[in-house]
Amino acid sequence: MKNKLVAAWVIALVGCAGLLAWALVEGLRKPPPPAPHVIKALFSPDNKWVFAQYAYYPDRGRKPRFNFRRPDRIWNTEQAREVTTEIPPINQGVAVFVGDSKHVLSANGAEGQKVALYLWEADTGRIIREFPDEDFVDIRRDGVNALAVSADGKVAVTGNRRGQLKVWDVSKGKHLKTIGQGYAVAMSADNKSLLSSSHDQVRLWDVTTGKELKSWFVPPLSTPQAVLADGTLLLYSTYGSSEHLLLWEFPSGKTIRQFIPKGSILGAMLTPDGKTLLYGCKSGLLVRENVATGKKIWSVQAADGIPGLTAVAFSQDGRLGFTGSPDGTVILWDVVGGTILRKLAERMEPP
């Protein structure tokens, strides 16, 4: 009897040891990294092109690595084809289509170069002009993370991590002046004024003189999402336990409407007439709402069968939408009717 009990104990101990060893191995084994996926996207003014910046997280960390295996991508939306080209390294996806939609102005994403911006051709990636910046020492401190360009494409204003607002002549690639502190949001059509944001303030600047004309306080941890072309409306998203969208009226600084989305906001915009709001959430929800009434015109689950979205963008005329998913899938949307137009990219395999 005693021998049987000892044998039972030995078998139990061996079994426990095996389970512990298995658990240890499984615990040490790293989960497979996510697939390369889009984190930012941008439509050209004529809707012909859409630019997307890719990233992947090899250790499931918070900091992505960019340009994995291939450069960022540009698609021709009319032909549903990818433009195969080498694109200059871009810092945090900060890029703007300039003027005729054939050129892109983007923030330098490469270390060791005293260059703030690049101007390049959208269809070939060929660099046309560099924008030298003698103050550019460390991309983590001096890299451009905000960019606004005038409607005629002649003047650009950048904001860096130090909060410096710099004015540039796009045709010459020349730094004209530094006008103050903040992050660029949008320029007026006449190139004379600029809206900028900071942690808890929105400021209006005279671009010519560099003088601050007016400022308004906003909720802390707010992010500008869109500004109407005439500068009368500004859309803000706030973060925290009560994430929502605020619609501000200028120059009064009055909040005229509040929208409460279901999930973290990845992208939002106002249609050119200011009557309609479009936004997309990390949860996968795309929504079109009436600004005056706050009522939904339509809503759709864009990430059907996929756990959420990683990027959302809308065209300037409010007719097209772009969504990127964690598995690398990219879809072009008709956001007037809330329907899929075409799939631009299929699922990408993790590295």
Question: Residue 47: which of 77, 73, 84 has the closest Cα?
Answer: 77
Taking all residues of the chain, what is their mean pLDDT, rounded to a whole number? 78
Residue 179 to residue 148: CA distance in whole angstroms = 14
Confidence of residue 89 (pLDDT cuts 50, 70, 90): confident
User: Residue 172 is encoded by which pair of tokens?
Assistant: 């010459």
Residue 152 to residue 99: CA distance in whole angstroms = 6
| Residue recorded with tokens 């994995």 | 68
Sheet of 265-270, strand order: 265-270, 276-281, 285-290, 296-301
Give how far the C-alpha of residue 266 lies from the chain's centroid of Cα atoms, to the nearest Å.
7
* b/e map 200-216, b = 16+ CB within 10 Å: eebbbbebeeeeeeeeb
Show the 3-state SS of 283-347.
CCEEEEEECCCCCEEEEEECCCCCCCCCEEEECCCCCEEEEECCCCCEEEEECCCCEEEEEEECC
The pTM (predicted TM-score) of the whole model is: 0.79
> Per-residue pLDDT tens for 259-297?
877 778 888 888 888 889 899 888 888 999 998 888 899
Residue 267 to residue 288: CA distance in whole angstroms = 12
> Per-residue pLDDT tens for 25-49?
444 455 555 677 888 888 988 888 8
| Residue recorded with tokens 């390294």 | 89
